[in-house]
Amino acid sequence: MKVFAGLAALVLAAGAAWAVGTDLRAQSTGQMPHPGQATYRVRCAACHDNPGETKAPSRETLSRMSNQVISFAMTHGKMQAQAAGLSEDERNQLVSFLTGRAEATRDTWSQAMACPGAGKAPSLKAAPAVATFGFDARQTRTLTAAQTGLTKAKLGKLDLAWGIAFPEVTMMRAQPAVVGNMVYLPVSEAAALYAFDVSDPSKPCVKWVYNTPNGAPLRTSAAYGVIADGTPVLAFSGLDTTVHVVDARTGKALWQKAVGVYSYSLTTGTPRVLKDRIIVPVSQFEIMQAYDNKVACCTNHGYVLSLDPKTGAQQWRYDTMPDAQPVRDRGDGKPLLGPSGAPIWNSPVVDEKRGLIYFGTGESNSPPAHRNTNALIAIRLKDGTEAWSHQATENDIFNVGCGPNGRPELLNCVKGHETVYRDVDFGASLILARLKSGKELVLAGQKSGTVWALEPETGKVVWRRDIGAGTPNGGIHWGIAFQDDTVIVPVAHIGRPVPGGEPIDPKLQPGLYGVDGATGAIKWHYSATPSCDGERGKKAPRCDRLYGFSGAPTVIDGAAVTGSLDGRLFVIDTKTGERLWTYDTLRDFPALNGVPGRGGSFDAASIVGVNGLVLVGSGYGMFGQAPGNMLLAFKPRP
Q: Quick: pLDDT tens for 262-271.
A: 999 999 999 9
Q: Do strands 597-598 and 375-380 pair parallel, antiparallel, or not at all (unpaired)?
A: unpaired
- Is residue 627 in a domain? no
Q: Which amino acid is located at 51 in the chain?
A: P
Give the pairing type, strands 158-165 and 630-636.
Answer: antiparallel
Q: How confident is the model at residue 19 (pLDDT cuts 50, 70, 90)?
A: very low
Return the CATH number at 352.
Answer: 2.140.10.10
Q: Could you give the 3-state DSSP secondary structure of residue 355?
A: coil
Contact 567, 172 (CB under 8 A): no
Mean pLDDT score, 524-543: 93
Domain contains 394? yes
Q: Are 189 and 91 within one domain?
A: no
| Residue 430 falls inside a structural domain | no
What is d(CA 397, CA 283) in angstroms, rounded to the nearest whole number?
16
DSSP state of 287: G
Measured at the alpha carbon of residue 233, what is the angle toward residues 230 and 235, in degrees to the nearest 5? 145
Handedness of CA 306, 363, 265, 429 (dihedral sign): negative
Q: Does residue 484 surpass a pLDDT of 90?
A: yes
* Same domain membership, residue 191 and residue 48: no
* 227 within some domain: yes
pLDDT score at 236 = 98
Task: Compute CA distances 428 → 129, 470, 540, 557, whole Å.
Answer: 20, 13, 25, 22
Residue 440 has pLDDT above 50, yes or no: yes
For 330, the domain range is: 181-218+220-267+270-423
- Average pLDDT of every residue of the chain: 90
Pair 186, 278 in one domain: yes
191 and 307 in a single domain? The answer is yes
Residue 518: pLDDT over 60 = yes
What pLDDT does residue 12 have?
Answer: 32
Question: Residue 269, CB half-sphere, CA atoms under 13 Å: how many?
Answer: 35
- One-letter amino acid at 40 equals Y
Q: What is the mean pLDDT of residues 32-44?
A: 74
Which residues, in sequence order, are bridge partners of residue 525? 513
Cis bond before residue 260 (omega within 30° of 0) = no
The verdict on residue 26 lying in a domain is yes
Do 197 and 58 share a structural domain? no
Instruction: Give the largest Cα separation in the chain, rounded.
Output: 77
Domain match, 79 and 193 both: no
State the total domains in the chain: 2
Omega of the bond leading into 339 within 30 degrees of 0 (cis)? yes
Q: Is the torsion defined by CA of 85, 88, 93, 99 positive or negative?
A: positive
Q: Per the domain annotation, does 338 fall within a domain?
A: yes
> Does residue 536 sit within a domain?
no
Cβ–Cβ < 8 Å for 454, 437: no
Model confidence at 15, in pLDDT bands (50, 70, 90)? very low
Q: Please state the rounded mean pLDDT for residues 400-425.
A: 91
Last residue of a domain, one of 423, 448, 478: 423
pLDDT of residue 103: 64
Asked if the model's pLDDT at residue 11 lies above 90, the reply is: no
Residues 196 and 301 in one domain: yes
- Would you say 219 and 188 are in contact if contact means Cβ atoms under 8 Å apart? yes
72-115 confidence digits (pLDDT tens): 777 766 676 677 777 766 676 677 677 766 666 667 899 999 99
**Given this model, what pLDDT does residue 336 score?**
97
CA–CA–CA angle 493, 11, 32 (5° rounding)? 125
Exposure class string for 31-59: b at 16+ Cβ within 10 A, else e? eeebebbbbbbebbbbbbbbbebbbbbbb
Q: Do 93 and 198 have their domain in common?
A: no
| Residue pair 367/336 in contact by the 8 Å Cβ criterion | yes
Over 90: is that where the pLDDT of 293 sits? yes
* Each residue's pLDDT tens digit, 295-348: 999 999 999 999 999 999 999 999 999 999 999 999 999 999 999 999 999 999
Note the pLDDT of residue 27: 43
- Chosen domain end from 367, 393, 423: 423
Mean pLDDT over residues 184-196, rounded? Answer: 97
The reported pTM is: 0.90
Q: At which of 397, 423, 449 does a domain end? A: 423
State yes or no: pLDDT of 413 exceeds 80.
Answer: yes
In sequence order, the 6+-apart residues with CB closer than 8 A to the CB of 237 are 218, 219, 220, 243, 244, 259, 267, 271, 280
Same domain, 195 and 87: no
Assigned domain for 263 exists? yes
Please indicate, yes or no, whether residues 282 and 408 belong to a single structural domain of this protein.
yes
Mean pLDDT within 250-258: 97
Question: Which secondary-structure segment (H or E) carries 526?
Answer: strand 522-527
